[in-house]
Amino acid sequence: MSLAGDLTTHVVGFCRRLRARDLPVGPKEAADALRALAAVDVSNRRECYLALRTVLTSRYEDLAVFDDVFREFWNPPAPQPTGADQPEPDLPALASDGQTPSLLSWLDEALQSQGEESIPAYSPVELLTQKDFSTFTGNELDEVSRLVVAIARRVATRLSRRVRAVRRGHALDLRRTIRHSLRRGGEIVELAYRKRRIQKTRVVLLADVSGSMDLYSRFLIQFIFALQHALGQVETLVFSTTLTRVTEALSESDLRAALDQVARTVPDWSGGTKIGQSLRAFLTRYGGLLLTPRTVVIVISDGWDTGDIDVLDDAMRELHARAGRVIWLNPLLGSPGYEPICQGMRVALPYVDVFASAHNLESLRQLERHLALRRR
Amino acid sequence: MHPEIARIQSMLDGQGYVADEALATSVYLAIQLRKPLLIEGGAGVGKTEVAKVMAAALETDLIRLQCYEGLDATTSLYEWNYQRQLLHIRMMEHSDLPLEVKEREIFSEPFLLRRPLLQAITHHRAPVLLIDECDRADEEWEAFLLEVLSDWQVTIPEIGTIKAQHVPYVVLTSNRTRELGDALRRRCLYLWIDYPTFEKELAIVRRKVPGVNGQLAGQIAAFMQFVRRAKLEKTPGLAETLDWSAALIALHRDHLDREAVEQTLGALFKHRDDANLMRAQWLDHLLRGVDEIGREAAPWSQETISRVAERVLPKS
C-alpha cells in the first residue's frame, strides 16, 4: 500500500472511531479531513490535530470526545518518534482534483456500514398488518421490522406535506399590491396579502419501555426511529421509572447501533413504571424547550402506573395545557374487550386528545390521521 | 507551522487581534477548503471580530448580516423598492407603453434592494460574509440559509436566476441560545472560542488599552479570570474586559482597589443579579485574590491564577 493510501486508511479509521462515539462524521467529512490534511503540514502533530478538529467536530460537546479519540487513535502505546521523524508522509497527490471522485466513492464504501434497504413487494403483508405485535414468531420479525419502517416513512411524508398548508395571514404583500396597482396607473385599490406558512409541527414521543410494554416497545422503537429519520423534528424520550432522552441515540443512522445505544443510555429498560414522575420530569427538564402550541405529544404506554396517581393527574393536566395536541397510544386497546380501567389510564384519559391503539401495523398506519394539529 | 497559517496569524496580529494557533488554523482551512466557518463561544470572546479581521487579511469587503427572530428572505436576501416603483408608475402614467413593458421595467434590477445575502452573491470579488448570531434566527430561516449556502444561487421570479460569480468566505457565529440544526453544522467547519487564558487576556489588555500600566493590566487580567469562576447569568467576555479597562483608565486608576472596582462594576456586569451577587458575595474574595496574586513571583501564569483561585475564591 502506498504511503498516501496508508494515511487515508488511518483517517478513515479515525473517522469511523469518531462516528462510533456519536460524532456526525460521514464520508463527506472524511473527504474534508483528507483535504484539510493536504493543506497543512502533516509532519506537525499539533497542526494535524487542529485541522482535523476544525473539520470533524461540529459542536462544543464534540470537542472532549474528539480529544479522547484523537489521543487513543494517534498515540499507539509504542513510543512515537518525534519531530522530523514523524512517520506521516507528505500527500501531494491528494490535493489534485482528479483524484477526489474516486476517493469519495471509496470512502463511501468504507464508511457506510450498510445502505438503505428497499422494501420489497410482499404478498403476505396484509396478513401481517392485522396481527398483534406480541404474537409474532421469530422468523416474521425481520419482515415486520421492515414494514414498520416503511409505514413510518409514509406517515412522515404525509405529515410534512400537511404542515406546509397555508392559512390566511395578515402580512401585506407589497410586491403583489404594486403589481395590481399597475393596472390602475399606480393607484392602490386593493391590497394583496401574503400567505404565511404554518410552522412545522414538532413531534415529541414519550415511550414507555417498562416490563409491561416490553412486547411492544421493540416495534415501537423501530417506528420511532424511522419516523425520526424521515421527519427530522422528532424528539424521543423513553421512560419506565426514570426518563431518558434518546433522540441522539436514535439519530444513529444504523438501526442496530441505535438500539444498542438506546439500551446503553436507558438505565432501567423493562423495569417498573412511574408514568407520573416521568412526565413531570419531562415537563421540568424539557417542557420549556419542546412544548409549544405547535407540538404534538405522543405518549406510548399501557397506563399501568405504579407511582403516585396525583402526580400523574397533575402532569397530564399541564401537558395538555402546554402542548398543541396529546395523543396516547395504548397497545392494549387493540385486544378485544379491553377497557381503560387501570387507574393510571383512567386518570390520564380526560387530558388526551386522541386515544388510539398501537398494537399492530394497521394501527401505526392510522396514526397519520391523528397527527394533524388542530384540536377538536 | 505551515507558512500560510503563520502568515494568517501574523496578519490577524497586525490587525490587532491576538489569535492562537487553533483560530489561525481554522481561518486558514475555511479559506483553503472554501467552507463556511461556524464559530461558537460565550458572548464577548471575539467571534465577530474574526470575520472583520479575516476580511482585512484577505483585503476584501465584509458583508454583515445580523440575525434576529423573524428574520426572513425579504430582509436577508432581496426586496423590491416599492416607493421607487410607485413613483415610477406615476411618472409613466401618460406613456403609451404596453402594460407588460411597464411591468418589466419596474421589476428590473434598478428597483431591486439587495439585502446582505444577495450583496454577497453579486459582489465583484469574493467578500467575507458574516452571518452574526445565527442562533437568533428561527429554524425556517436556517433551512433557507442552508439552501443558499449549498447552491450559491438565488432565483428572483421577475428577473431569473442569479448565480454567484465568486463564492463568498462565510463566517457564522452563534451564542448557543438555540441549538443550530445538524444539517447546517455539518456544512461548516467548527471553531469553539473559549474565554481567553490569563496570558492571552493580559496580552490583549496590554495591546488594546492605551495608557494601561503593567501592574494594572496584570490585575485586570487576573481579576477577570477569577470572576469567570462564578456562576453568572452572563459571564463577562473580552469585550467587557476592554470596556472595564477603559473605564478604569478614564477614572485615572493605576491599580485595583475596592473603590475602583465598585465605581466601575457596571462596565463588567450587565445583569442586575450578577452585579448584586458580585457585590454581596464575591467582591471581598476577588479583592483578596488580587492582593495575593500580587505577592506571587512575576511573571504570573494561568497556573499561578488557578492556585490562588483555589485558595481564596468561594466554591460555586
Nearest to B185 among A40, A51, A59 (CB): A59
| pLDDT average, residue stretch B269-290 | 88
User: Any CB–CB contact under 8 A between B95 and chain A?
Assistant: no
Say if strands B153-156 and B128-132 run parallel, antiparallel, or are unpaired: unpaired
What is the helix, strand, coil percentage profile of chain B, to 5? 55, 10, 35
- Give the max Cα distance, chain B: 89
Nearest to B190 among A58, A179, A185 (CB): A58
Contact A39 B33 (CB under 8 A): yes
What distance in Å separates the CA atoms of residue A180 and residue A176, rounded to the nearest whole number? Answer: 6
User: Any CB–CB contact under 8 A between A60 and chain B?
Assistant: yes
Asked if pLDDT for residue A86 goes beyond 50, the answer is no
Last residue of some domain: B166, B192, B218?
A: B192
Question: A319, A325 in Cβ contact below 8 A?
Answer: no
User: Any CB–CB contact under 8 A between B9 and chain A?
Assistant: no
* pLDDT value, residue B201: 92
Residues in chain B closer than 8 A to A179 (CB atoms): 103
| B residues 147-206 closer than 8 Å to A (CB) | 176, 179, 182, 185-186, 188-192
CATH classification of the domain holding B152: 3.40.50.300
Determine the residue among B4, B8, B28 to mutate to test chain A binding: the one whose Cβ has the most chain A Cβ atoms within 10 Å. Answer: B28
Highest average pLDDT, of A188-197, A305-314, B142-151, comes from B142-151
User: Any CB–CB contact under 8 A between A264 and chain B?
Assistant: no
What distance in Å separates the CA atoms of residue A265 and residue A209, rounded to the nearest whole number? Answer: 13
What distance in Å separates the CA atoms of residue A300 and residue A219, rounded to the nearest whole number? Answer: 12
Whether ipTM > 0.85 holds is no
| pLDDT average, residue stretch A69-82 | 65
Q: Same structural domain for residues B105 and B54?
A: no
Q: Which residue in A169, A208, A201 sits closest to A312, CA to CA?
A: A208
What distance in Å separates the CA atoms of residue A256 and residue A142, rounded to the nearest whole number? Answer: 12
Residues of each domain in chain A carrying CATH 3.40.50.410:
202-370
Could you tell me where the beta strands, DSSP code E, fall in A187-247? 193-197, 202-208, 234-239, 243-245
Residues in chain A closer than 8 A to B8 (CB atoms): none
Q: Which residue carries 483561585 as its cell?
A: B309
User: Any CB–CB contact under 8 A between B35 and chain A?
Assistant: yes
What distance in Å separates the CA atoms of residue A35 and residue A52, rounded to the nearest whole number? Answer: 10
What distance in Å separates the CA atoms of residue B150 and residue B148, rounded to the nearest whole number? Answer: 5
Q: How far is A167 from chain B (nearest CA, A)?
A: 17
| pLDDT average, residue stretch B156-168 | 90
User: Any CB–CB contact under 8 A between B311 and chain A?
Assistant: no
Contact A186 B89 (CB under 8 A): yes
* pLDDT value, residue A112: 46
Last residue of some domain: B192, B223, B252?
A: B192
Contact A50 B103 (CB under 8 A): no
Nearest CA in chain B to A36: B29
Residues in chain B closer than 8 A to A46 (CB atoms): 21
Contact B29 A36 (CB under 8 A): yes
Asked if pLDDT for residue A263 goes beyond 50, the answer is yes
Q: Same structural domain for residues B179 and B299?
A: no
C-alpha cell at A43: 509532519
> Structure pTM?
0.59
Asked if pLDDT for residue B34 goes beyond 50, the answer is yes
Q: Same structural domain for residues B226 and B107?
A: no
User: Any CB–CB contact under 8 A between A29 and chain B?
Assistant: yes
| pLDDT average, residue stretch B77-82 | 90
Determine the residue among A54, A228, A247 to mutate to test chain B binding: the one whose Cβ has the most chain B Cβ atoms within 10 Å. Answer: A54
Q: How far is B207 from chain A (nearest CA, A)?
A: 26
What distance in Å separates the CA atoms of residue B220 and residue B207, rounded to the nearest whole number? Answer: 13
Q: Which residue in A269, A283, A270 sits closest to A314, CA to CA?
A: A283
Say if strands A354-356 and A325-329 run parallel, antiparallel, or are unpaired: parallel
DSSP three-state, residue B43: coil
* pLDDT value, residue A156: 64
Nearest to B21 among A50, A62, A200 (CB): A50
Asked if pLDDT for residue A293 goes beyond 50, the answer is yes
pLDDT tens by residue, A327-364: 888 877 766 667 766 778 888 888 888 887 777 777 77
DSSP B194: P
**Sheet containing A325-329: which strands, arranged edge to edge?**
A243-245, A234-239, A202-208, A295-300, A325-329, A354-356
Contact A50 B86 (CB under 8 A): no
Contact A178 B35 (CB under 8 A): no
Q: Same structural domain for residues B300 and B234?
A: yes
Contact A179 B33 (CB under 8 A): no
Asked if pLDDT for residue A123 goes beyond 60, the answer is no
Asked if pLDDT for residue A117 goes beyond 60, the answer is no
Q: How far is B140 from chain A (nearest CA, A)?
A: 8
* pLDDT value, residue A136: 58
User: Any CB–CB contact under 8 A between A241 and chain B?
Assistant: no
Angle between helices A3-20 and A100-111 (to 10 degrees): 40
Residues in chain B closer than 8 A to A58 (CB atoms): 38, 182, 185-186, 188, 190
What fold, for A202-370? Rossmann fold (3.40.50)
Q: Residue A254 carries which side chain, given as an amino acid letter? A: D
* pLDDT value, residue B272: 84
Residues in chain B closer than 8 A to A50 (CB atoms): 21-22, 25-26
Residues in chain B closer than 8 A to A51 (CB atoms): 25, 29
Domain, as residue range, for B41: 3-71+123-192
Q: Count of domains in chain B? A: 3
Q: How far is B192 from chain A (nearest CA, A)?
A: 6
Asked if pLDDT for residue B174 goes beyond 90, the answer is yes
pLDDT tens by residue, B118-137: 999 999 999 999 999 998 88
* Average pLDDT in chain A: 71
Of A267-271, B217-221, B249-253, minimum mean pLDDT range:
A267-271
User: Any CB–CB contact under 8 A between B86 and chain A?
Assistant: yes
Q: How far is A312 from chain B (nearest CA, A)?
A: 30
Q: Same structural domain for residues B187 and B84?
A: no
Segment A218-224 long-range contacts (CB within 8 Å, at least 24 positions apart): A218/A133, A219/A133, A219/A144, A219/A145, A219/A148, A220/A300, A220/A329, A220/A358, A221/A250, A221/A259, A221/A262, A222/A145, A222/A148, A222/A149, A222/A152, A222/A255, A223/A148, A223/A149, A223/A151, A223/A152, A223/A364, A224/A152, A224/A250
| pLDDT average, residue stretch A115-128 | 35
Question: B46, B195 in Cβ contact below 8 A?
Answer: no
pLDDT tens by residue, A148-178: 677 776 666 655 544 443 334 456 677 777 7
Percent residues over pLDDT 70 in chain B = 100
pLDDT tens by residue, B87-98: 888 888 888 888
User: Any CB–CB contact under 8 A between A376 and chain B?
Assistant: no
pLDDT tens by residue, B6-24: 988 888 888 778 888 899 9
Question: A33, B163 in Cβ contact below 8 A?
Answer: no
